[in-house]
Structure formats: structure tokens, C-alpha cells
Amino acid sequence: DNFFSSQRTAFHFQPWKNWMNDPNGPMFYKGYYHFFYQYNPDAAVWGNITWGHSVSTDLIHWYPLNIALVPDHWYDAEGVWSGSVTVLLDGKPVILYTGSSNESVQLQNMAVPEDFSDPFLRNWVKVPQNPVLVPPPGIGKKDFRDPTTAWLESDGLWRIAVGAKEGTTGLALVYRTTDFLDWTLQSKFLHSVAGTGMWECVDFYPVSLTGLNGLDTSKVQVNQLVKYILKASMDDDKHDYYTIGTYSTDSQTFIPDDPTKDVGFGLRYDYGKYYASKTFYDPVKERRILWGWANESDSEQDDIIKGWASVQSIPRTLVLDSHTGSNLLQWPIEELELLRGDNSVVKQNMSLNGGDVVKVGVSGAQLDIEVTFTYPDVHKLDVLPEHKEYDCSQGGAAQRGLFGPFGLLVLAADNLVEQTAVYFYLSLRPNGKWVTTVCSDQSRSSLAKGIDTTVYGTVFDKPPTENSLSLRVIVDHSVVETFAQGGRACITSRVYPTVAIDRNAHLFLFNNGTKPVTMQTLGAWEMSSAYA
Ligand code: DQQ
């Protein structure tokens, strides 16, 4: 019983009970952030999907409202599926969502607030013109879903993208409109990539090349220095892939900067459990914020026993990485730091020899940790390691190298029988270049059986001018979110310790490589709960 109750999170978004999946329609309206989510009000498994609804003033403390949209028409009888909110020029929000019809046809529908003076927007009305979009010729009735937030272009027309596929080619259709009721399908796809399968939850937005502020897609000026991000959630492998490129307002198509890293096989927002994400522009703090769904790694049977399934990751601010120019940086919204408590630890300059495991004096299943390590002096080696591609799923933190694995053990029992290792590993490629991998190793995270403990990880760019490696790790009972190198590479893991729970969960620094490494700075905070 304790095993299951200790898994509920303290500051990640989750409903009181039952199943949740995709984030839907995030927005800011009259003083409140609104968050909707795919929600089954009846069970801890997917089905009978509605739009759950909560509001917040800081994106961390949430106030639950009644369900906003339920399946109650022929055009959404099998579920009110994913969609987005667009805030129109007069400040009024519009929902576009996918209904799975009584005949399993995917249709786009529209809903508007019943009372614009209600800052909570408690009641939504489906317009009598629904459905406003049906699958176009050539697109399967089950391959047409998840409309984006609409954006306004200089020709005065609003546009949306909708995910689809043709054969095994994943693609985003573009529609234009003036009134959100009558839509024209554009002849060209926003983008398509052969072999990637169905694109779910497409997202499309600009990022600034000149500042750290976020951008409202509808307010980008011609000649403004921006790049565009196209993201799609791959139904085939359940990962969110994004690509940086440009948007041609002549052809209304997206052109990737690097076609070898296109949507579906290039960069991922997150290399762990993270799917069906969606961004919105926050006009209060002028930032773009990303929400993503972190599914469970336990069994459906466990979900039914515990009575709930899934959390949302901490909302992340998104900016272009000025050091590389070729990826986004994701960082937990600054509001999270308000939960940092008085129990904290600061450390500096500590050498970790090969084999060291050093306890850090904060405990509990609610932590925020920031640590940096000096980038090891790889040139001082007298014997070079074998040229071998490092794959953290083969052996995880137990596989010793020269430099790495080193990093943190979180949710660790005193005797380390349970531990989740978040670490770096340096390896030498045949071309003579050193590369850094960041991994999250769940293989020893729980003594319980029947849990998916896949080790996650990715290589990331480290320009030579960067002399240190950094990790930020957010621990919240059954979720561990890792942000490496300022958010250049992110990993969300779900873990289910049985003994390393609550006050018996501890934090360690470790170095399991054979060479020493230097921890430069460490700050670790015990975190308060966002829920009473
Ligand atoms: N989840 C929704 C769909 C979407 C999928 C249904 C992605 O609209 O394509 O719950 O997780």
C-alpha cells in the first residue's frame, strides 16, 4: 500500500485519480493559466476520453475545475481527443479538437467559451457547425487528428496544421480560414517525411535568433530574425521529434535546416518517457512553454490498483541554443524554484576518484539538484580507450569507462539496493572526437517486478568552448527529469522504488569511471509540495 501511495507526485501536474494522457490547449486568459488534458473520468486506463481542466496563477499550483468537454455528440461520440487553443486578436479563445465520431472517423471540431467574463472559462459550447473539418480525399478516416494552435499571417488568414499520413509517409496538412468555420485545404503539406508513419500532435512555432524571449506565432514580422520549429509525435515509436528550419510564407511550407535530422529521426525533445507535447506562448513573461506527457513504466494492473496513471512533466521554457544553433534548450519554468525549501546543500570543488560514492546531505523523494563537473582533461591520457560507440542501455551505470559513468544517484536507498543513476559517459569515436553521452539508468531503480526499466540516453553536442558538464535533476517520487548541459539534452524517467521512498530516499554523487573527475559546484534543495 505504501509502495503505491509513495508514487504520487508532489509538484508534477496530475489529476486526483484515473487516467491522463496528452496535454491540450494550454493558454493564459484573464489572469490564469489554463491547462486541459486527455482524461478518462471513469478508470485508470485509456478510454472515454474527455478534456480535464485546471487553472493556475503560477503553472505549479493547480486548481481543478469540472471537465471542459465530454463526448456528447455524434462527431465526438468515441472521444474528445487532442487539440489546441487559439487566442484571437480580441483576446477570445477558441478550442479546436479532434472528435472520434460514432463511426470512428476523425473530425475537427470547434468549441467556444459560454461566458467570456468568467476567467475560469468553466463552460464551453460546441458550435452548431461541427464538424468543421472532415478527412480530405486520400487521407484515412483514422489518420487525421490533433489540430495545432492557429496562426495569423500577413495575408490576414489564419492557418492550422493537422497531423496525418499517406501510406507510411507522415505529414502535416495546412488549412486556412477567416472565421474558423469555413476552411480551405492548401495544396502543399507544411512538411512530410517518408517512412515516419502517422504524425500525432503536430506543433509549429517560431523561436528568436536574437533574444531569449518567446514569440507569438501570429505576431512574427516579415524579415524578423527567427527560426521555426516543427514537432510531431511519432505514433510508431511514441517519441516527440523536432526539427529546426525556416518557413516560407510564399509556399507555406517548412524547410528543415538539416534534412539529415528531419522530423521522425532527428532531435527529440526528451530521450525518456515524453510524448504528445504541446507549446503555448505565455504573454505574461513573454516565453514559450512546453508541456509533455510522461506515461507510466509500470503495468496496467499496477495502474488499476493505484487508481491513476500518468503525470505531466514540469512545464519547460524553450529557447534556441545560441552555443550550437542546432538545438533547443529546455529548462523547468522559473516558478518551480519557489518550491525550493530551507533544507539544502551547497558544495564546491570535490574530487571524485574512480569508484567513489559520496552521500549528499539532502534527503527525500522531492529534490531539485544542480551540479557541474569539470570537463575531464582527455588530452592527458597516456593510453587511449578503444574506439567504441557507447550505448548506455548495455550495462548502464555499471559499465566502467575511463571518464564515466559519473553523476548522481537519486531515489537511492542507504545501502544502494535501489538507485536511479543519472550520469555522463565520455567515449572516443573512430574519427578521434570525444563525445559525451547522458544517461538515466532505471535498471536498479526498484526491487518490484514487472516494471519497464529501460536505460535511456543520448549523445549531445558540447562545443570546445564549454569546459564543464552540467546536470539539473528534478526528483518527484515516481518521476525523475534530467536536463543536461543547460537543457540541451533532456530525459524523463518513471521509477517505482519500494524502500528508497519518502524520507528513505537519498542523494549521492558517484564516479564509476576509472579516472578521477572534479565536481565543481552542487546545489541541492528539498522541495515543498504544490498540493495541500
Ligand atoms: N492521443 C489522443 C489523440 C492523439 C493521441 C487521443 C496521442 O488525439 O493523437 O487520446 O497520444
What's the confidence (pLDDT) of residue 402?
94
Residue 226, pLDDT > 80, answer: yes
Burial class (CB in 10 A: 0-12, 13-18, 19+), 447: middle
d(CA 109, CA 133): 7
- Provide the β-strand partners of residue 359: 508
What's the confidence (pLDDT) of residue 379?
87
How close is the Cα of 332 to the center of ligand 1, in Å? 24
Residue 400, pLDDT > 90, answer: yes
What's the confidence (pLDDT) of residue 495?
98
- 22 flagged as catalytic: yes
User: Among 385-389, 406-410, 483-487, whose mean pLDDT is lowest?
Assistant: 385-389
Geometric angle at alpha carbon 176, from 255 and 102, rounded to 5°: 110
User: Among 161-170, 195-204, 236-245, 380-389, whose mean pLDDT is lowest?
Assistant: 380-389
d(CA 419, CA 191): 42
End-to-end CA distance of the chain: 21
d(CA 209, CA 202): 22
Instruction: Choose the residue to mutate in 18, 19, 20, 22 for probing ligand 1, maximizing ligand atoms within 8 Å of C-beta.
Output: 22
Average pLDDT of the chain, as a whole number: 97
Contact yes or no for 453/494 (Cβ under 8 A): no
143 lines ligand 1 (CB under 6 A): no
What's the confidence (pLDDT) of residue 386?
80
Closest atom, ligand 1, to C-alpha of 275: 11
Instruction: Choose the residue to mutate in 40, 201, 233 for probing ligand 1, maximizing ligand atoms within 8 Å of C-beta.
Output: 201
Residues 227-251 have a mean pLDDT of 97
For residue 495, the one-letter residue type is: V
**pLDDT tens per residue, range 173-190:** 999 999 999 999 999 999
- Give Cα 221 distance to the centre of its chain: 28
Of all protein residues, the one whose alpha carbon is nearest to atom 9 of ligand 1 is 200
What's the confidence (pLDDT) of residue 82?
99
What's the confidence (pLDDT) of residue 107?
99
d(CA 437, CA 390): 8
Residues 483-494 have a mean pLDDT of 98
Residues 420-443 have a mean pLDDT of 95
22 lines ligand 1 (CB under 6 A): yes
What's the confidence (pLDDT) of residue 383?
81
- Provide the β-strand partners of residue 228: 206, 245
Burial class (CB in 10 A: 0-12, 13-18, 19+), 486: middle
Residue 1, pLDDT > 70, answer: no
Residue 532, pLDDT > 70, answer: no
What's the confidence (pLDDT) of residue 112?
98
**What is the SS3 assignment for 334-388?**
HHHHHHEEEEEEEEEEEEECCCCEEEEEEECCEEEEEEEEECCCHHHCCCCCCCC
What does the chain come to in residues?
532
Domains in the chain: ranges and CATH? 14-334 (2.115.10.20), 340-526 (2.60.120.560)
**pLDDT tens per residue, range 265-308:** 999 999 999 999 999 999 999 999 999 999 999 999 999 999 99
201 lines ligand 1 (CB under 6 A): yes
**pLDDT tens per residue, range 53-108:** 999 999 999 999 999 999 999 999 999 999 999 999 999 999 999 999 999 999 99
Residue 531, pLDDT > 90, answer: no
Closest atom, ligand 1, to C-alpha of 98: 8
Geometric angle at alpha carbon 498, from 493 and 502, rounded to 5°: 80
49 lines ligand 1 (CB under 6 A): yes
Which of 307, 506, 339 lies closest to 412 in space, CA to CA? 506
What's the confidence (pLDDT) of residue 247?
97
Query: Grid coordinates in use for 527?
Result: 522541495
Phi, psi of 433 (to 5 degrees): -95, 135
d(CA 315, CA 292): 8
Q: Does the predicted model carry a pTM greater than 0.95?
A: yes
Q: Cα-Cα-Cα-Cα dihedral of 7, 8, 12, 13, to 10°? A: 140
Residue 116, pLDDT > 80, answer: yes
**pLDDT tens per residue, range 446-481:** 999 999 999 999 999 999 999 999 999 999 999 999
Residue 114, pLDDT > 80, answer: yes
Element (H, E) at 304: helix 300-306
The percentage of the chain sitting over the pLDDT mark of 90, rounded to a whole number, equals 95
Q: DSSP states of 107-145 as a string?
A: EEEEEEES-TT-TT---EEE-TT--SB-PPTTS-TTSEE
Query: Grid coordinates in use for 368?
Result: 531539485
36 lines ligand 1 (CB under 6 A): no
User: Among 372-386, 412-426, 488-502, whose mean pLDDT is lowest?
Assistant: 372-386
What's the confidence (pLDDT) of residue 404?
95
